[in-house]
Amino acid sequence: MSGDERSLDSRNLSPAMSSALARFRDGEVLALARAISIVEDERAGFEDLLHSVLAVGPSACRVGFTGPPGAGKSTLLAAAATSYRADEEHIGVIAVDPTSPYSGGALLGDRIRMNDLTTDPGIFIRSMATRGSLGGLATTTKEVLDLMDAFGFDRVLVETVGVGQIELEITAAADTVVVVLVPESGDAIQAMKAGLMEIADIFVVNKADRPGAARLAHELRQALHLKAGNTFKDMPAHHGVNLSRVLRGERTTEAVSPGGQTGWSIPVLTTVAQNGEGVPELLDAVETHRHWLAASGQLKARRRSRTRARVEDIVERELGRVARRSERAREVLESALDDIADRVETPYSVARRILDGLLR
């Protein structure tokens, strides 16, 4: 499906990887699935594969759905996907569940809701198992998003559960972020509101046929109004930025607005995803936001900001890998264990020696 604008640099790829890439570029869904597995497992050469694939660059519309468990994100996403499919768009879906590495996640219900769609060859659904890749899940998921993008889907929809840090980071890889809430969320929402305000491009109060929906929508509009003065400054800044570092204060969030004069006013919509109520309005809002992104220069700015964060993520991941695979580091460590136990050394002095051996 993807275009073929420029020749890819696949010199570093193994024969197996080259053939996978060729089939990927021919639009074979199985090759996409295989490429995703290669990236998820960080198999040898996976970064070369991504390098080759990324030479095509981003073109899909990326829409993220996030919110607390039980908000109906999957149902809403399924309704959106169905509508896009009616327009014959090709859709990629990524569902992320970063819960306990042991629980295996709570995606079963979501998968069942998706079932109607899974037989449609125009839609490709992948759920990201966490397998405990702490810190790595966000980066890997963004890479899978890139793969889907490069494969040529018109739209890639990402669903994350909750608003923890990993979810926030993943969400930042979307162009448009839809935050889904329900009246029942209640107090939990209060606590999360600050964070949600930062990441939402569009708010949806789902299950709007239940009591409290109008009040929640009203509260959200009020909260948005209160911070309207600095909405533009705050709102898009998280995109592409490594939130964990921002929150640690290690990197300043930068305003990515080119001018600052054309703000985006975050809409608060109501839906009943189960029967499709309000879904057309939501999809309209997504389109409007998309146009605003392009017209205001935000799309380019967000992508640039994402690129910056991505390079830093790749560097950090590789540094960790180098350290773990260093034969010398292992020797230094093993030979120092007794000295640490005897307090002749400490983990800090040993780490320093290992670092001196690794760094220029």
Distances (CA, A) of 182 to 172, 202, 203, 206: 22, 14, 11, 5
Both tokens of 220, joined, read 């959200």
Which lies closer to a copy of itself via its Cβ, residue 272 or residue 310? 310
Q: What Cα–Cα distance (Å) separates residue 97 from each residue in 16, 169, 177?
A: 30, 13, 17
In a 3-state reduction of DSSP, which class is residue 106?
coil
Q: Residue 181 is which amino acid?
A: L
Q: Residue 232 and residue 255: Cα distance in Å, rounded? A: 9
Cα–Cα distance measured from residue 181 to residue 69, given in angstroms and rounded to the nearest whole number: 9
State the nearest-atom distance from the C-beta of 119 to a copy of itself, in Å.
28
Answer yes or no: are the C-beta atoms of 107 and 115 closer than 8 Å: no
CA separation for the pair 318, 312 (Å, rounded): 10
Min dist CB 133 to a copy of itself, Å, is: 5
Query: For a copy of itself, which is the closer residue by CB, 186 or 280?
Result: 186
Residue closer to a copy of itself (CB basis): 83 or 244: 244
With b for 16 or more beta-carbon neighbours within 10 A and e for fewer, the 58-90 pattern comes to bebbbbbbbbbeebbbbbbbbbbbbebbeeebb
- Provide CB contacts within 8 A for 50, sequence distance 6+: 39, 143, 146, 147
What lies within 8 Å, CB to CB, of 256 at 6+ separation is: 236, 237, 239, 240, 298, 301, 302, 304, 305
Structure tokens at 251: 């990197």
Nearer to a copy of itself, 279 or 302 (CB): 302
In 3D space, the residue among 174, 329, 160 whose CA is nearest the CA of residue 236 turns out to be 174
Instruction: Say which residue the tokens 């050469």 belong to.
Output: 45
Distance CA 90, CA 59 (A): 13
**Nearest CB to a copy of itself, comparing residues 174 and 301:** 301
Q: Do the beta carbons of residue 171 and residue 180 sit within 8 Å?
A: no
Residue corresponding to tokens 């205001």: 296
**Nearest Cα to Cα of residue 165 among 139, 203, 131:** 139
